[in-house]
Amino acid sequence: MAVIERMTAERPPATIALTIDGRRVEVEAGATVLDAVNRLAIPLPQLCKDPDRPPLGACRTCLVHVEGQRGVPAACHLPAREGMVIETEHPEAVRIRAGVLELTRAMLTPREGSDGFGQLGVACAAHGVTAPAEAPLHRFEVDASKSFFLLDREACILCGRCTVACDDVQLIGAITLGGRGHATRVGVFDDGLLANSVCTSCGQCVAACPTGALSPKEAPAPVARRVETTCPYCGVGCAIVSQVRADGRLAIMADDVPANGSSEGMLCVKGRFGTGFVHSRERVTTPLVKRDGRWHEATWEEALETAAAGLARHRGRFGALASAKATNEDGYVVQKFCRVVMGTNDVDHCTRLCHSPSVEAMLASMGSGATSNSYVDYETAGCLLIVGADASANHPVIAVRFRRAMRNGARVVVVNPRRIELCEQADLWIQPRPGTDVTLFNAMARVILDEGLADLDFIARRTEGFDAWRASLAAFTLEGAAARTGVRAEAIAQAARWYAKPPFAGSCLVWGMGITQHVNGIHNAHALLNLALVTGQLGFTGAGISPLRGQNNVQGCGDAGCIPTNLPGYQAYDDQTLARFERAWGVRPPAQPGRVVTEMVEDCLTGGTRAMYVVGENPLLSEPDLHHAEKAIGQLDFLVVQDLFMHETAERAHVFLPAAAFAEKEGTFTNSERRVQRVRRVLDPPGLARADWWITGELAQRVGRHVGLEVARQFSYESAAQIFDEMARLTPFLGGISHARLDREGGLQWPCPTPEHPGTRFLYAESFPRGRARFVPALQTVEAAELPDPDFPFLLNTGRLLYHWHGGTLTRRVQGLLELAPRLEIAMHPADARRLGVETGARIRLASRRGELTGHARVTEAVRPGALFVPFVKLGESAANFLTNSAFDPGSKIPEYKVCAVRVERLPA
């Protein structure tokens, strides 16, 4: 793979040596004495100092003695100087610190059931400070309106760490220090409840609070172990610290991962509070075999043998769905099982349902299907063009980076038919009519060309197909586009100008499923990529192209080969590659591309698919037109499901194989910026549950025996690390990565071809994997396969919610998330609501040509008149995919989830 700019090593800074409590320590120039104290792990109180933030100097508890100086300065504001001699235990420093702590402690009233005052309680105990004889007057009610944490102002020392966390880290601004003098207090605007504020429950303030004034609601218990791992939810792939309590349960996740993480200390509500699903009583922890229509508990031997016999019977009419929630190692073994034992390339995963148009278009234009930039580039970019992506709901930590970009002065253009949260802060919100994206992007390209904003040098040196593409734009005049898209001509032109010539640095083009889940999804993606090529906005710092990946490991699942069109590492089925895999696997993989998931499901109706192996997926919630999908899956002769929970698809299976959750196994995930990160086992799997790679390996050996293939050696893995090593040997861009290296260095971004390679921050600095990038004319401007008509007069749009993940299989098992979003809400414009006599909260039924769902109206101007929005999550019996249309993009085979026609009916309360 051609690439790349290597990350340059920075020159080591000059160091300063000082002595603290008789020990010599070196720190970088510019460090404070507190930095030096912490380097030696000396337990000095520092209540208002966040390890990742500049000092506030508000609590005055880090007082130290400096030899040769009078007084006891605060270490957090004392610059370290060569030769300084510091004493933290000097009697004067200890005496004054104790006084400060005593005064601080005397202001607070302990709450019943709390386990003390956090870091303040620890510091008081160390300084012999006890509770005052008389507790101060109780002045404030506890705000327990949020599901995961509470605010107890009686335990607040007004250090301001929480407001900094909310304002400067998450850039949300939900809480502030209000009032004056003695009446100063932390809270939301107008002394309201947190639940009624813009608070997103991210928990950044809870993690920062040094006294427990902001504290989790879960019953306190000491943390027994802390293990670095990776969030199991979205493609941002935040590095997190699993905290295991003494009672064996996961506590809330911490964010203080030291290096090479992707989150930089930020998490969202799901990552910080939402991992309790691993302890759900609904976990299936024993293998199950169905006999006479009923589930029976089985031994692993019995279940695996039954599964193997059933799958072997249908070799040749078989398909597999791998899991983008499972690890790279899990995915690698699933695709190897399909190719080596089942003799088929019919293996796919959920990328088909979210970003297959992006991947197909990028492969055609650039030769690689991955995000080209890193997350940090969003913050250094001079312009962000964010298309069809609601990061605040889907990728909250990336939304923080977008907000940082705005703070840094970047121009932000949002293209979205809905008024998403980012629209409030963006410089420009473009709301094109549904299905007119190609017209919009082509008109922007015309502006760039007509106004001389194209990067002609880049085009000449690095691309091909320019002239034909330019000619294809003839019909896309600014005026015509304005009429067709409903967007003002000046707004289209302004977006083009900012993107082509940002005020500083480069431009990042970011898109989501708003443009991919359409029958012309691949044309939408090409139209966007052409914008990047005509302006040369990729291949340097602060520029790039980013399809925001949905699930935690959707990037890695594709990298590992769980796609029917390519071998691991997106390698083609050419003779040379097939021979290399044959040498490694002992069996030559089939040379023909396999079927994608939508084709496999469709073929259930014709007998082309008789058996399926579904790992960590629930197609009977995620497929479009669910009644049709149910009918298709119902035709299968044999179905094996491997998962954590019994779900809609699993209920129809013949064998259920219980899998370990992310916290119960070793492995790696690869996030949206190509960063391979470790996933670590912190808990034992419950009951008989096992890691996916182990289950698939055992299954493969047994199917092998049934079909006369000796593959025991190929599937007898002893560890996830061994699997990764095999995958890395066969996948050039992963060649320099191993578990051992990730453990030493933290996450690494591919391409990383050799053990010495530092990883790749951004792609395409010098060349593209296919040589020159290709302009591909994008002309298909079909509005949608199904548009409103008198019978179904509303246009339905679907998407995700902040508090639930996809269909909600995991998040519905987390009580606090369920409390934050307990029911299905359908967004409707006030004009439509008035006409239908519907108010917020009213029960309504939506019906399409394929099915119906019931939910509660939410009247909002965030949607256009005539449009409705419903999230994917299944709450109660309602799921959006009973309504959606299975019409798909012929190029990428993605279904048109985003648009279908429905009617609305008000139901009795």
Would you tell me which residues interact with ligand SF4 (CB under 6 A)? Answer: 165-166, 170, 172, 174-175, 199-205, 231, 233-234, 236-238, 263, 267-268, 270-271, 395-397
**Residues 27 and 40 sit within 8 Å (Cβ to Cβ):** no
User: Among residues 216 and 417, whose Cβ is nearest to ligand SF4?
Assistant: 216
CB of 237 to ligand SF4, least distance (A): 5
DSSP assignment string, 651-662:
GG-SEEEEB--G
CA distances from 202 to 149, 176, 508, 566 (A): 10, 16, 26, 38
Q: How far is the CB of 166 from ligand SF4 (least distance, A)?
A: 3
The residue among 269, 244, 240, 268 whose CA lies nearest residue 254 is: 240
Task: Name the minimum Å distance from CB 203 to ligand SF4.
Answer: 5
Three-state SS at 447: helix
- Considering beta carbons, is residue 200 or 335 the nearer one to ligand SF4? 200
Residue type for 400, please?
V
Minimal distance, residue 402 CB to ligand SF4, in Å: 12
CA dihedral 764, 769, 775, 777 (to 10 degrees): -130
**Residue 844: which region, alpha, beta or left (left: phi > 0; alpha: psi -120 to 50)?**
beta
- Residue the block writes with tokens 């995000």: 371
Q: In this structure, is the dihedral angle defined by the CA atoms of residues 585, 720, 331 and 631, taken in order, positive or negative?
A: positive
- Closer Cβ to ligand SF4, 551 or 885, answer by number: 551
Phi and psi torsions of 567, nearest 5°: -80, 175
User: Considering beta carbons, is residue 664 or 786 the nearer one to ligand SF4?
Assistant: 664
List 903's β-bridge partners, or say none.
847
In angstroms, give the least distance from the CB of 269 to ligand SF4: 7
Tokens in use for 429? 């919100």
State the burial class of residue 617 (Cβ atoms within 10 Å of its Cβ: 0-12, 13-18, 19+): buried
Smallest distance, Å, CB 272 to ligand SF4? 7
What phi-psi label fits residue 190: left (phi over 0), alpha (psi between -120 and 50 degrees) or beta?
left
Residue closer to ligand SF4 by CB (options 50, 346) is: 50
Pairing of strands 185-188, 214-216: unpaired
Task: Give the residue at shortest CB distance from ligand SF4.
Answer: 271
Name which of 74 and 253 has its Cβ closer to ligand SF4.
253
Residue 269 tokens read as: 């509500």
Instruction: Name the minimum Å distance from CB 400 to ligand SF4.
Output: 9
What are the counts of helices (DSSP H) followed by strands (DSSP E) for the chain? 31, 35
**Residue closer to ligand SF4 (CB basis): 199 or 659:** 199
- Peptide bond preceding 4: is omega within 30 degrees of 0, i.e. cis? yes
Output 203 or 435, the one with its CB closest to ligand SF4: 203
Min CB(796)–ligand SF4 separation in Å: 26
Rg of the chain over Cα atoms, rounded to whole angstroms, equals 29
For residue 667, give Cα distances in angstroms to 254, 325, 718, 724, 886: 20, 12, 13, 8, 34
Least distance to ligand SF4, CB of residue 176, Å: 10
Query: Whose Cβ is closer to ligand SF4: residue 15's or residue 196's?
Result: 196
Tell me whether residue 352 or residue 800 sits nearer to ligand SF4 (CB atom): 800
- How far apart (Å, rounded) are the C-alpha atoms in residues 886 and 894? 9
39 versus 217: smaller Cβ distance to ligand SF4:
217
> From the centroid of its chain, how far is CA 815?
21
| Residues 230, 737: Cα–Cα separation, whole Å | 17
Question: In which element (H, E) is residue 358 found?
Answer: helix 356-365
Q: Which is nearer to ligand SF4, 37 or 253 (CB)?
A: 253
Return d(Cα 805, Cα 855) in angstroms, integer.
18
Contact 857, 903 (CB under 8 A): no
Nearer to ligand SF4, 533 or 817 (CB): 817
Q: Which residues contact 849 (CB under 8 A, 6 or more apart)?
A: 786, 792, 901
Closer CB to ligand SF4, residue 552 or residue 797?
552
> 874 Cβ partners below 8 Å, 6+ apart?
621, 807, 808, 812
Q: Strand pairing of 15-20 and 5-6?
A: unpaired
Contact 826, 870 (CB under 8 A): yes
User: In the complex with ligand SF4, which residue's Cβ is closer, 236 or 459?
Assistant: 236
Cβ atoms of 481 and 440 within 8 Å: the answer is yes
C-alpha 400/C-alpha 420 separation (Å) is: 14
Residue where the block lists tokens 């996916």: 692
- Minimum gap (Å) between residue 160 Cβ and ligand SF4: 13
Rounded to whole angstroms, the Cα distance separating 284 from 291 reads 17
Which residues are CB-neighbours of 606 under 8 A, at least 6 positions away? none
Cβ nearer to ligand SF4, comparing 151 with 496? 151
Residue 388 or 396: which CB sits closer to ligand SF4?
396
Q: Give the DSSP letter string of 371-394.
A: --S-HHHHHH-SEEEEES--HHHH
CB nearer to ligand SF4: pick between 205 and 340: 205
